[in-house]
Amino acid sequence: MSEMKLYEVFIRAKSGLNHRHVGSLHASDAEMALMNARDVYTRRKEGVSIWVVESCHITASNPEHEHEWFDPAEDKVYRHPTFYPLDKEVENM
Amino acid sequence: MYSQGLTDAKGGDEPAELLAEFQAKIDREEKIEPRDWMPEAYRKTLIRQMSQHAHSEIVGQLPEGNWVTRAPSLKRKMILLAKIQDEAGHGLYIYSATETLGVTRDQLNDELLTGKAKYSSIFNYPTLSWADIGAVGWLVDGAAIMNQVPLCRTSYGPYSRSMIRICKEESFHQRQGYEIMTVLARGSKEQKDMAQRALNRFWWPSLMMFGPSDKDSKHSEQSMKWKIKRFTNDELRQKFIDATVPQAEHLGLTVPDPELKWNEQTGHYDHGEIDWNEFVNVIKGNGPCNKERMQARIKAHEEGAWVREAAQQYHANKKSEAA
Ligand SMILES: [Fe+2]
Ligand SMILES: [Fe+2]
């Protein structure tokens, strides 16, 4: 049998939350992937919404280049509120 | 446990710096993710352990499937079906996680159906009475939980996440089994006897689920170092015995081990020696149901072929319609 396509499954646990990656599964097309995802990943009402994405459509950053890739953010401490000391009287800002 | 037939995976020549960095990461309790560098032996060990685990979930449906049509009430039948369906899901979660290590589902399936891959010895025992379904839930799922809870912290990210999901689902499995045993143990004399016989049949095979004794288990040490495993086989087995004996006593059932007794000094139960010949024999394929289980899997796979083909064809038709 030729392999069915691989899909990544994302589930929104309840309205207002992000869809979150939960795992993957095989299916012949997206519609079937969605049905399989419902049966495999939400048997106990774990979600209110499902996304499926064919795995080959995901482009991922390379973990081996983690450091160089994310280093533009490393020296920008001034993006964090804690960079700005406040006087006691107004410290709840 | 579910990967009790594990053998050593050999590593290649890998740069010492990479290996050291990898170990440091594990020591810092950081998870290893699919695209991270990992030693070949780590990858192989995981593929073997995880696929054996997944196969066990799948084959584990068979002994219970035996009682679906004969469950004593509609309620019991629905519960049993739900549990079996969960096991299919567990198999799928772990297969998916295994595929992130670079093997295909077809490969894994093939290895199971050709007898190349192993699965847990426990599923090669028959379920002769309804009480066996109780014993399976209570003891077999109980032993599985004992093993799977620490696996939630295993070093490989996808395996750990699938274990967390599985553990959430697993506790109803054990409880429904213990409840079956409770009802039988408090029923008529015949029912209580049936529960006792089920315990007699499943006690020792359940202890074997934890795999060979530590003194005979070579791969344990490396797996512990890589934090694939968190406890040794004997440690987990002891935890299981300590937790389960009082549960049997509570039901007025007798654990079939004349040497079993509480040891004040160690704070654990001492127990009799496991029949390791039986264990090795079942792993080798000579258990009471090995052949039957494999035949059932092959039959299901072959008879399900048309469903997979129809799905592919449906997709092809839709694509050509759209074109
Ligand atoms: Fe399971
Ligand atoms: Fe289970």
Chain B residues with CB under 8 Å of a chain A CB are: 33, 35-37, 82, 85-86, 89, 92-93, 96-97, 99-100, 104-106, 158, 161-162, 165, 169, 305, 308-309, 311-312, 314-315, 318
pLDDT by residue (tens digit) across B88-144? 999 999 999 999 999 999 999 999 999 999 999 999 999 999 999 999 999 999 999
Domain membership of residue A52 as a residue range: 5-58+66-79
Instruction: Work out the average pLDDT over A58-86.
Output: 90
pLDDT by residue (tens digit) across A17-61? 999 999 999 999 999 999 999 999 999 999 999 999 999 999 999
Reduce the DSSP state of residue A90 to 3 states and report it: helix
Average pLDDT, chain B: 94
Question: What is the CATH classification number for the domain harbouring A15?
Answer: 3.10.20.520
Q: How sure is the predictor about B1, in pLDDT bands with cuts at 50, 70 and 90?
A: low
Q: How sure is the predictor about A64, in pLDDT bands with cuts at 50, 70 and 90?
A: confident
Question: Residues 6 or more apart from A17 whose CB is under 8 A from it?
Answer: none
User: How many distinct structural domains can be found in chain A?
Assistant: 1
pLDDT by residue (tens digit) across B135-181? 999 999 999 999 999 999 999 999 999 999 999 999 899 999 999 99
Alpha-carbon distance B108 to nearest alpha carbon in chain A (angstroms): 12
What is the complex's ipTM, to 2 decimals?
0.82
Kindly identify which residue of chain B lies nearest to residue A62, measuring between CA atoms.
Answer: B35
User: Does residue A40 sit within a domain?
Assistant: yes
User: Does residue A90 sit within a domain?
Assistant: no
Mutate one of A25, A38, A62 to test the B interface: name it (highest B CB count within 10 A).
A25
User: Does residue A92 sit within a domain?
Assistant: no
User: Does residue A16 sit within a domain?
Assistant: yes
pLDDT of residue A1: 47
pLDDT of residue B3: 64
With a pLDDT cut of 70, the percent of chain B lying above it is 96
pLDDT by residue (tens digit) across B313-322? 999 998 898 8
User: Does residue A54 sit within a domain?
Assistant: yes
